[in-house]
Amino acid sequence: MQITGTHFNYYQICKRKLWLFANGINMEQTSDLVYEGQLIHEESYPQRSTKYEEVALDGIKVDFYDARNKVIHEIKKSNKVEKAHEWQLKYYLYVFEQNGILGVKGILEYPVLRKTNEIILTDIDRENILEIKKYIQCIIEANECPPLEKMQICKKCSYYEFCYSKEEDI
């Protein structure tokens, strides 16, 4: 199985969510929060679709790629899981590098917060990505779902109903 940016994102957030997603259980299409994020992506920078392109490469799909300036733009609704967003974007930069597209940097954009973060890929990041890929592969190949990690963001997760049978479990 090819590892995607979503795998990298979910690995940082919840190993159970990663396993469910990787095993074909996709709850994102029914989530109002995910829909809201898609609207922000589509409406925040309407002029970008004419200037930049959405790029799919080796299992990843970047929101906007500015080929002239070698910048990947990744748009997110909230920075509550910023670490996950950063690793997803670092993985995109890594995949671009592995495909011979060198010198690319990333920009995480939070239009609702009017905040941006520049992301670069370091040698330490490259080493960490190789390790994370191994862990992701182990989680994906596991025959059973990992134990539930109770987190602050669980109630807003599109997998919430799937993971929890009672609200008081959180």
Let me know if residue 169 belongs to a domain. Answer: no
pTM for this prediction: 0.84
pLDDT digits (tens, 9 = 90+) for 61-90: 898 899 999 999 998 888 888 999 999 999
Q: Residue 46's pLDDT band (boundaries 50, 70, 90)?
A: low
User: Rounded to an integer, what distance in angstroms lies between the CA atom of residue 109 and that of residue 147?
Assistant: 32
Let me know if residue 170 belongs to a domain. Answer: no
Let me know if residue 91 belongs to a domain. Answer: yes
Let me know if residue 168 belongs to a domain. Answer: no
Q: Residue 166's pLDDT band (boundaries 50, 70, 90)?
A: very low
Look up the domain containing 96 and give its range: 5-161
- Domain of residue 92, CATH code: 3.90.320.10
Let me know if residue 70 belongs to a domain. Answer: yes
Let me know if residue 22 belongs to a domain. Answer: yes
Let me know if residue 134 belongs to a domain. Answer: yes
Let me know if residue 167 belongs to a domain. Answer: no
Q: Number of structural domains, the chain?
A: 1
Contact between 120 and 96 under an 8 Å Cβ cutoff? The reply is no
Q: Residue 104's pLDDT band (boundaries 50, 70, 90)?
A: very high
